[in-house]
Amino acid sequence: MHIADGIIDTNICMAANVASVAIIYLTGKNTPMEEIPRMGITGAALFVASLIHIPFAGTSIHPGLIGIAGIILGKRAFPVIFTVLLFQSLIFQHGGLLSVGINSLNMGAGAYVAWIIWKQQRIPEYVRAMAGGFAGIIIPVLLMTFEFQLSGYGKGIIFLFSVYLIVATIEGGMAFFVVRFFRNIKSDILS
């Protein structure tokens, strides 16, 4: 789901990088010290999940845990997602340095929507968890599909979207089990 360098216009990528830095500043300022370990653990989980590649339908997919990051970190998910994507770009060439901003905006939007869903207390928790996990994948895929269409980059992206519907459904189930696990062990990570 990472957009590689050279696909999206360079000017758009540069604007996305500037916007990402601004969002990191806005969402990261005044971060309480006790929240930093939670951000680090979540970032490590996102990074490790990206190492699990599953061949599927002519491509490979990996867990994103973007919705789970949004549920756990709320608005603080964006700086974590940016950092993970930056390291993935530097170490594994996932995406690229030029496109790290647009990838961060896409995935950060998924985490933000997951957080908004998670905050809806009138909805049962298991529904919020599944919907948040689903949104954490499907929102970035929708944005990426739109960006690829604007860039005139092939019609195969529509097929990729259908593949990621399956991934988003699996991520929704994963989010449900993660939330259930943290509730069973009475962890305050979801507070």
Instruction: Tell me the pLDDT tens digit for each residue of 60-72.
Output: 778 889 999 999 9
Strand partners, 54: 61
Rounded mean pLDDT of 120-137? 97
C-alpha to C-alpha distances, 2 to 25, 133, 173, 175, nearest whole angstrom: 23, 18, 22, 21
The pLDDT confidence band at residue 75, using thresholds 50, 70 and 90, is very high
The pLDDT confidence band at residue 149, using thresholds 50, 70 and 90, is confident
175-179-181 Cα angle (round to 5): 115
Report how far residue 99's alpha carbon sits from residue 131's, in angstroms, rounded to the nearest whole number: 27
pLDDT recorded at residue 57: 67
Report how far residue 71's alpha carbon sits from residue 46's, in angstroms, rounded to the nearest whole number: 13
Is pTM beyond 0.85? Reply is yes
Instruction: Tell me the pLDDT tens digit for each residue of 79-91.
Output: 999 999 999 999 9
pLDDT recorded at residue 133: 97
CATH code of the region 10-184:
1.10.1760.20
